[in-house]
Structure 1
């Protein structure tokens, strides 16, 4: 792809050359497990067995790298599979990770329960407090600084560039989970991060019909280590999953525009409602990370969280009283979803520093007509 092409063009064309045999505009799905060799070791375009490589997955990995402005993209069966592979490529027993105190519950569970059982230690910290992060880093032992911004579910904004300087000063690999923002709104590698991780299930796929994960890496040595584990352990995305993700990415930019405008309108509607205590959305000037989000993002995203004055019962009733906002886990699809983190996406972190208050609700704002969405919210809000 030409270096001067804009994001919208790259999202449609990177890695998506037309089929040279038929001229089909959309590359085919290569539903094959293995490949005929031209004599022993004579691999056609390097393909031998689909765990090691598949043309459909290659097209997605090329596209992922282009979207994030990175050298290497890797596609996985899920976001957690991508995270697990990266962690195993970097860490050994006794190593230490610093991560935010408001990250996805599954990420914390993976680090604490799975890798913790193998001797990997972690410290959770308020990532917006640079002094606290610096104090949490153990020189010579902290190997990863894990950043999630905006965070899940309280939409905290972390200064990627400043944290990257801190991490690199300690010799740590700086990882940014860019799932909530997507590369349409934020480019962590350009701000100094070493690795970007995605659950492609969310905004990249965009249609709630595929599970996947991704890593984008600039460092050649780290890429080779991760790629070896991708092959050796086999957590790869299937061809159809890769194809569906590519299809979703083609409309990422226009979808994110609508997600952002809808979410902004809904956040402004919710702010000040007598039943609502706090609206967590970086597009609101009252949000503590508003100015930083303006500086490092090109939009504020489609995710909103809110807390209710009426406590857990008010939050639960709200979640169960809507129609367009369907009660479900996940996010980033074209349809709007509502989630109760304390018992759904973040149930695994109850009793830890990452515990989510039971009066908090998370909204994934879709691309429906915003007036219809606000009407749905109005009918579910207490005293409305």
Structure 2
């Protein structure tokens, strides 16, 4: 590891590993919107040959991601799913086996069920919150444990350190964690023992719904170079303009996360007290079953929550439509508060029976709490409850 100064997060995202442009002394690193680069002579370059392999603007973002991950380097991709796909194709071959969190982003499920399965890569969904169940599911051919914590959309937590210890008692098994909901500033998965940290930078890292992107970070130098090779081969590198926008977003990440956490906590407490709400899933609530684990491995509870209404499916969908400040959209982590119904959106490919077992009912609503004033968000919920249910039960 390098001898980086131990900056606080707000300093870290602005100054650590920062790259400046020397020709004009621009305070913002420029967008290198180019496909190719001039060779000074045959075989001699300034480190860049073709933007499918590397790009200076993308590299500047990668240095910022590495700074918050605490890794020597990071790699950025066209999307979070591009990052996960590249990881799998870099690490796995026919006959290998993967353990996946049973509550996980729907796109990850589709990748294994509809794409990687065609290449004889086997997988098993397991409750990664249950270390005994994970241990029992490991096979001799298991090569990767891919966990998402907090899980989408139930916020169920997995013990990252426990999973890492379990994985590392076996040869050739690595632990990858989708840390999109919290980012390394609220949960540093590499410090907890994970081999790979994955982020959808579309979400909190960008924070403004302006880009699509993903990243991977690891302390394993050989794996980083393998990922770089596969990314170049597949063409899954981040686009320069999206990288430039994300660089601007990451500079305000600590300030935004503090507001997301504070606002989500207030909204979660209010929802939990409402008679039309059956339950609220938020690690910051005293009622959350895994709150002690959250306090142990997280430095904040995040801006994501989900809640289940005492209502019919139709009433639940009409309730969402009645909201005015909360926007119905399939994303999270932005300055705007976003709301979705996972059963009809991110997890629509799951069977009704499986969704029921995982706690993803038709009445479950996922909320990404934004930067609007909490009292305004609560007032929006109040008017929606009034419009659909006539107020309190």
Q: TM-score range by the shorter chain?
A: over 0.9
Q: Matches of 1:14 and 1:3 in 2, distance apart?
A: 8
What do residues 133-176 of structure 1 show as CA deviations (whole Å, max 9, x unaligned)? 111111x2111111111110000111100011111112311001
Local SS of the residue matching 2:238: coil
Local SS of the residue matching 1:197: strand
Structure 1 match to 2:326: 325
Please, which runs of 5 or more residues in structure 1 have no aligned partner? none
Structure 1 match to 2:364: 360
Return the match for 1:376 from 376, 380, 385. Answer: 380
Q: Matches of 2:69 and 2:29 in 1, distance apart?
A: 22
Q: Matches of 2:353 and 2:107 in 1, distance apart?
A: 13
After the TM superposition, which residues 141-290 of structure 1 pair with which residues of structure 2 at under 5 Å, given as runs?
141-171=141-171, 172-290=173-291
**Contact 1:102 1:354 (C-alpha < 8 Å) held by counterparts:** no
What do residues 288-329 of structure 1 show as CA deviations (whole Å, max 9, x unaligned)? 111111111111000110011213223212211101101110
Local SS of the residue matching 2:125: strand
Structure 2 match to 1:300: 301
Moved more, 14-23 or 188-197: 14-23
Local SS of the residue matching 1:338: strand
Distance 1:105 1:193, change over 3 A: same
**Contact 1:325 1:338 (C-alpha < 8 Å) held by counterparts:** yes
The normalised TM-score by structure 2 is: 0.95
**Contact 1:17 1:25 (C-alpha < 8 Å) held by counterparts:** no
Q: Matches of 2:365 and 2:146 in 1, distance apart?
A: 24
Counterpart check, 1:313 vs 2:289:
no
The normalised TM-score by structure 1 is: 0.97
Local SS of the residue matching 1:271: helix
**Contact 1:176 1:195 (C-alpha < 8 Å) held by counterparts:** yes
Q: How far 1:359 moved relative to its partner?
A: 1.1
Structure 2 match to 1:36: 38
Q: How far 1:350 moved relative to its partner?
A: 3.0
Q: How far 1:354 moved relative to its partner?
A: 5.2
- Aligned-residue CA RMSD in angstroms? 1.3
Q: How far 1:272 moved relative to its partner?
A: 2.7
Structure 1 segments of 4+ aligned residues over 6 angstroms from their partners: none
After the TM superposition, which residues 52-71 of structure 1 pair with which residues of structure 2 at under 5 Å, given as runs?
52-71=53-72
Counterpart check, 1:51 vs 2:42:
no
**Contact 2:31 2:244 (C-alpha < 8 Å) held by counterparts:** yes
Moved more, 167-176 or 9-18: 9-18
Q: How far 1:71 moved relative to its partner?
A: 2.2
Moved more, 164-173 or 201-210: 164-173
Q: How far 1:330 moved relative to its partner?
A: 0.5
Q: How far 1:274 moved relative to its partner?
A: 1.1
What do residues 217-254 of structure 1 show as CA deviations (whole Å, max 9, x unaligned)? 11111111111011111011110000111110000000
Structure 2 match to 1:22: 24
Q: Matches of 1:344 and 1:312 in 2, distance apart?
A: 14
Local SS of the residue matching 1:183: helix
**Contact 1:68 1:189 (C-alpha < 8 Å) held by counterparts:** yes
Q: How far 1:101 moved relative to its partner?
A: 1.2
Local SS of the residue matching 1:94: coil
Q: Matches of 1:257 and 1:117 in 2, distance apart?
A: 43
**Contact 2:355 2:361 (C-alpha < 8 Å) held by counterparts:** no
What do residues 186-242 of structure 1 show as CA deviations (whole Å, max 9, x unaligned)? 100000000000110000010001000110111111111111011111011110000
**Contact 1:278 1:306 (C-alpha < 8 Å) held by counterparts:** yes
Local SS of the residue matching 1:188: coil
Count of residue correspondences: 382
Q: Matches of 1:4 and 1:327 in 2, distance apart?
A: 40
Q: Matches of 2:28 and 2:353 in 1, distance apart?
A: 47
Please, which runs of 5 or more residues in structure 2 have no aligned partner? none
Q: Matches of 2:143 and 2:353 in 1, distance apart?
A: 22
Q: How far 1:4 moved relative to its partner?
A: 1.7
